[in-house]
Structure 1
């Protein structure tokens, strides 16, 4: 039986790198798409087939990247962290970049496409973050390819913003903090992705092993990192988000989505073993948090 060749887009990101490690452990033939020289260096230990390109810049940049590829796995997308900015919009990084990879996949007869989206992509279309993911989900479902869309509720690493703020003495929580979530570690999410490499449902909403309220998670951060939990009334948060909109569209989009996810229950199917406390215990406060 011919060994499947896999294209992993976004291979150097927090999730992509964990997926790449698992694929490498299984001895699979992987082509990695990364955005930068730094990304190429990160993946070099796991594959020699590395493409360095910005997929959002058009089909010509990644022409035939899926040639001889059987399965595409895309963890490609823009970080929602307030402390990270690649300079392009969510629409460019999440929709256009993935659409260009998909176009190439259809042209080259790829068998299957696994896309990591976000929970809420189908219910929060007024937010650019969700809208850009949902637009690509729709493009993928209309492509004719076999596919699975994985919607995680959020990564533990995505909560690093609160830990960074805690290091600076404040942990802001919008609203009463009663909304619940079961965020997942990227290592556990990577296992879910790889488990669905060859088959799976069209949509799978994924969470971690334990459900906590946002306040409980903030208190865990407070105990580990320090700082003080500050509750921000929802109305105040709404008005406070108008100012950055005048200065920086990127920050505004992230703040609005942050308010949405932290004031609504975001719970997915239970997976994995690594708890949020385990994750916090493993943080190097000097080197992992700026």
Structure 2
């Protein structure tokens, strides 16, 4: 039986991995979360739960583990306040897990990074991901780095704005992307769990422009799209410097929505289907 550690298990992608891998009789799970709330969410999938946050000791987290899957990272939502920086969580906390994995001679480490990490090392979010990628690349472990285009759930911010009847589109909206459903990404990870290329960039089955996606969101919530010139969006990033967390999220949001972000096509779930299944009462 393979023993798999899922770091960031109580997050959106982590939960999908828990649901999927817990159904495999040949896998035993150890699940990492940083809170008691996370523990409650994970109890049905494993009784081997490692509770530790950024400031805690991760010694022993990888003891007796065959494969580590890290979906650990800060929230990118503008409506969720992070208590730590992207560097603290996405880089340094993942490095604690990696160090323990090396110490315990783990066979394989899968890291869920972000598309664009290599091209945008000076930005906080992709930069912290890229620095951890480099740590993994120079480790003694067999590894796979997965760079997803972006999850459908990462677009909930636009749904929240749509409830207030406006969906912003930065620039001309012509940038293209093939975001992926978190369940499809979890399935993809399960397929490369034991063997896979060192670097994989993956997206969903359909390519849309950012304007097309905004229009689908607007239709779903009976809202309107609003084009925001890039110069104004850039000014917003600068003016948000009173909050480093917001500044870095806006910086990342502006970049990904104004550049083509396309990965290897995978999965079956479409963005329109995903929107139809959103319970707007669950959005703030």
Q: TM-score range by the shorter chain?
A: over 0.9
Q: Deviations over 1:151-185 (max 9, x none)?
A: 00000000000010010121111100000000000
Aligned to 2:4: 6
Quote the offset at 1:79 in angstroms: 1.0
Q: Please list every run of 5 or more consecutive structure 1 residues that lacks an aligned counterpart in the other structure.
A: none
Aligned to 2:110: 114
Aligned to 2:235: 239
Task: Give yes or no for the alignment of 1:187 onto 2:183.
Answer: yes
Aligned partner of 1:97 among 82, 93, 96:
93
Quote the offset at 1:9 in angstroms: 0.3
Q: What is the alpha-carbon distance in structure 2 between the residues aligned to residue 85 and residue 200 of structure 1?
A: 35
Say whether the 8 Å CA contact 2:169–2:225 is kept in structure 1.
yes
Q: What is the alpha-carbon distance in structure 1 between the residues aligned to residue 81 and residue 197 of structure 2?
A: 33
Quote the offset at 1:229 in angstroms: 0.6
Task: Give yes or no for the alignment of 1:16 onto 2:14.
Answer: yes
* 1:68-87 equivalence runs, <5 A: 68-87=64-83
Say whether the 8 Å CA contact 2:82–2:245 is kept in structure 1.
no
Aligned to 2:261: 266
Q: What is the alpha-carbon distance in structure 1 between the residues aligned to residue 123 and residue 165 of structure 2?
A: 29
* 1:136-147 equivalence runs, <5 A: 136-147=132-143
Task: Give yes or no for the alignment of 1:42 onto 2:41.
Answer: yes
Which secondary structure state, in structure 2, belongs to the residue aligned with residue 241 of structure 1? helix
Which secondary structure state, in structure 1, belongs to the residue aligned with residue 260 of structure 2? coil
Q: Please list every run of 5 or more consecutive structure 2 residues that lacks an aligned counterpart in the other structure.
A: none
User: TM-score under structure 1 normalisation?
Assistant: 0.96
Aligned partner of 1:208 among 199, 204, 208:
204
Q: What is the alpha-carbon distance in structure 2 between the residues aligned to residue 96 and residue 85 of structure 1?
A: 19
Task: Give yes or no for the alignment of 1:278 onto 2:273.
Answer: yes
Q: Deviations over 1:197-253 (max 9, x none)?
A: 1000000000001000000000000010122111011111111221111x1000000
Which secondary structure state, in structure 2, belongs to the residue aligned with residue 119 of structure 1? coil
Quote the offset at 1:126 in angstroms: 2.1
Aligned to 1:256: 251
Aligned to 1:159: 155
Q: Which runs of 4+ in 1 moved over 6 A?
A: none
* RMSD (Å) for aligned C-alpha atoms: 0.8
User: TM-score under structure 2 normalisation?
Assistant: 0.98
